[in-house]
Amino acid sequence: MEYHIFQKTVVGKNGKSTKRYYYWYKEGNIQRQKICKNCKTKAEALAFVSSLPAIKEKSTLVKDIANNMYIPGSPHLMRREQLGRSIVEETIKDGRIYINHIIKKWGDYSITDITVDQVGNYLFSLKKSGSWKARYISIFGEIFDEAVWYGVKVMRPNFPAFAPKSRKKDIFYPAELKQLFLKENFSNPYTDSETMFLFFTCCIFAGLRLSEARALTPRQFIFDKKALVIDGFCKKNGMRTNFNKKGSLLDTKARIVLLPENVITQVQNYILKQNKTNDDFLFTCNNLPIRIDQAEKSFSMAILKSGIEQKGRKLSPHSLRYTYITQMRRTLSGELVRELVGHSNVAMTDYYTQFSVENGLAHIASTGDAVEKLFD
């Protein structure tokens, strides 16, 4: 039964108590109650509610849920934070841009009426990149996840997975790495050649993302263990986070890698020469972290100076990370390499949940020989 009767005592203006029949029903998340008019017995109350029209479910619109998402200070972001998801400014702004797109198209649809073919056909018709569409789908899925907090029972649809159109970066062959990594190749208009040379040396020997190399500080190096703890990245504005890509303050996605002895020695000497303190940015230009455009331009110049063949190839700083993964996979398991490079779409081992340098060092001890032979 959609309507539920109950009896309660009511005190009239004359102070006299009377028992009357009422009924209650749910309208969405709201419980409403009304009197059973002129009903003195339970039978009369039951007959009364049976004559009432069926309750129409109040539909929850997409915009009812999405309007409050990715808003600073909102319950949605509070939940994201407690669930260990990113709430950095860039994530909030990016999420809100897609939320606005979704509201504009689907805001007046009931969340329970959205179908895979509707959304899929709409996205197929747009001249947007696969990455854009994939992000759109991801944010739309979050709206379905958020619906539970509005009392709506609805399953996240199995939306199509859009593949990015951008071609993967090419890798460098071992002989090319030796050809490229000469200090004189890294002379540039922004900083000294040693700084840029060592910057990219760290990229290749640790499989770093460019943003992670920009964020390096002396305290991340454990010199007696020949190790590097990767626990943050630089945003475009030069601000450093205390967590890695796809990480958060609650789950930093920190990882640890071993470095060859000659690289560790070069870094140690560089720190002493530059008089760097533990929390200083290691590689800078005008006392600021090397910018992305500066790194990319300097790397392109280094490739040209090295004489490496580029025709038909897509070589960039990120190619160093691809190269690291490819080379390390020759002697290490895929699972271990994924842990070394911090691929967030792979389930990490338990020790990464509560990141420990000691546990990390023990886990990667076998990778020392592989990194020593990276250029072989």
pTM for this entry: 0.63
Q: Which residue has the higher pLDDT, 316 or 375?
A: 316
Tokens of 247: 């990480």
Q: Which residue has the higher pLDDT, 246 or 317?
A: 317
Comparing 46-50, 68-72, 233-237, 359-363, the range with the smallest average pLDDT is 359-363
Beta strand 284-285 with 255-258 is: unpaired
Comparing 20-34, 99-113, 167-181, 305-319, the range with the smallest average pLDDT is 20-34
Q: Which residue has the higher pLDDT, 55 or 261?
A: 261
State residue 171's pLDDT score: 85
Strand partners, 234: 240
Report whether pLDDT(220) > 70.
yes
SS3 268: helix
> What pLDDT band is residue 259 in, cutting at 50, 70 and 90?
very high
Tokens of 316: 């960039």
State residue 165's pLDDT score: 62
Report whether pLDDT(155) > 50.
yes
Strand partners, 25: 32
Mean predicted confidence (pLDDT) in 222-233: 93
Comparing 168-177, 199-208, 314-323, 347-356, the range with the smallest average pLDDT is 347-356
Mean predicted confidence (pLDDT) in 153-173: 81
CB 178 within 8 A of CB 290: no
Strand partners, 10: 18
CB 245 within 8 A of CB 211: yes
State residue 345's pLDDT score: 41
- The residue among 284, 293, 294, 366 whose CA lies nearest residue 333 is 366
Average pLDDT of the residues of the chain: 86
> What pLDDT band is residue 349 in, cutting at 50, 70 and 90?
very low
CB 91 within 8 A of CB 128: no
